[in-house]
Amino acid sequence: MYAVTGASGQLGRLVIENLLGKVAPEKIVALARDPAKIADLKTRGITVRTFNYDSPSTLAPALEGVEHLLVISSSEVGRRTEQHRAVIEAAAVSGVTFLAYTSILHADTSPLGLAVEHLATEALLEKSGVPYALLRNGWYTENYTASAPIALQHGALLGSTGNGRISAASRADYAEAAAIVLTQANPAKAIYELAGDESFTLADFAQAITDISGKPVEYHDLPEAEYKAALISAGLPDWLAELLANSSARASGGALFDDSHTLSSLIEHPTTPMRSTLEKALQA
Ligand SMILES: NC(=O)c1ccc[n+]([C@@H]2O[C@H](COP(=O)([O-])OP(=O)(O)OC[C@H]3O[C@@H](n4cnc5c(N)ncnc54)[C@H](OP(=O)(O)O)[C@@H]3O)[C@@H](O)[C@H]2O)c1
């Protein structure tokens, strides 16, 4: 059986849809801390189980019958290493024969603050003895398209990325790759640096908003502290503003760039162009 944690999340749902194209629903276990959120999957023949990273003793029983497990990294930044530790320990004592984990692009060298918990999780996996693959995901294009309406409102896109190039891909691309890796017949230990085929600067992204909408949007590059302050004044909590400003500033040195084309090789087609994802977002 193939199981996916965080199945109620945006990536998780897309992975489940991909799995449905590869294996029978009876072979899929969707794991979520709130199973009510994915009750629709049950009606499609998928097994739905409660799986809360914060309840370690419940995790191994929830993995009964699971051979290949996709661990989608938790969204609770700052608590993730301990949460992932609980999942890895449960996998190690249950029948899981292969675990794939969604890490961050170039986790071992990434200067992003976000990489710390991912790297710690990778180390836990290595120690666990469970055969594993690392899906080191680059940025979702949707991280940027989500803020396109606000940029349009103000005619300005803010960031601290300078001329740093970002090799983003759509969530759907990463989900497709995850389903492919999870359903391999004889998965081997592997590290996949996954990123988009094309890269863009935030100035390119602002230009794309302008081109698609017909309304001018300019990119304003700010020092990290000023960008953080702008995010706080827009209503973001301090921790999230810190995290976003840190990621944006570190990306100026190329931390979110990758030209290995590993993702398109794995999914056997080009990754979704930034402009396609943006067009979809602006139509929505
Ligand atoms: N590469 C990127 O650009 C990027 C961007 C953002 C995030 N990420 C990472 O990639 C992950 C997946 O992305 P996404 O877009 O699918 O995020 P998402 O929509 O926020 O989904 C996060 C998932 O994690 C689950 N979760 C959180 N805490 C949990 C817990 N204690 N126990 C069990 N499940 C828990 C959530 O459950 P609920 O539905 O109950 O909340 C949800 O299913 C994120 O969690 C984050 O680690 C990557």
DSSP string for residues in 125-179: HHHH---EEEEEE--BTHHHHTTHHHHHHHTEEEES-TT--B--B-HHHHHHHHH
From the number of C-beta atoms within 10 Å of its C-beta (0-12, 13-18, 19+), residue 275 rates as middle
Task: Please give the domain boundaries of the chain with CATH numbers for all domains.
Answer: 2-137 (3.40.50.720), 140-169+196-258+272-284 (3.90.25.10)
Q: Which structure tokens are listed for 120?
A: 């710690």
Angle, in degrees to the nearest 10, between helices 202-213 and 274-283: 50
CA of 249 to the centre of ligand 1 (A): 23
CA of 77 to the centre of ligand 1 (A): 10
How far is residue 8's CA from residue 5's CA, in Å, rounded to a whole number? 8
pLDDT 10s digit of each residue in the chain, 284 long? 999 999 999 999 999 999 999 999 999 999 999 999 999 999 999 999 999 999 999 999 999 999 999 999 999 999 999 999 999 999 999 989 999 999 999 999 999 999 999 999 999 999 999 999 999 999 999 999 999 999 999 999 999 999 999 999 999 999 999 999 999 999 989 999 999 999 999 999 999 999 999 999 999 999 999 999 999 999 999 999 999 999 999 999 999 999 999 999 999 999 999 999 999 999 98
Indicate the top mutation candidate among 58, 72, 84, 119 to test ligand 1's pocket, ranked by most ligand atoms within 8 A of CB.
Answer: 72
Q: Which structure tokens are listed for 199?
A: 């890269």
CA of 34, closest atom in ligand 1: 40
The residue contributing the CA closest to ligand 1 atom 33 is: 52
The residue contributing the CA closest to ligand 1 atom 13 is: 11
- For ligand 1, is residue 121 a contact (CB within 6 Å)? no
How far is residue 241's CA from residue 77's CA, in Å, rounded to a whole number? 13
CA of 53, closest atom in ligand 1: 32
- For ligand 1, is residue 83 a contact (CB within 6 Å)? yes
- For ligand 1, is residue 102 a contact (CB within 6 Å)? yes
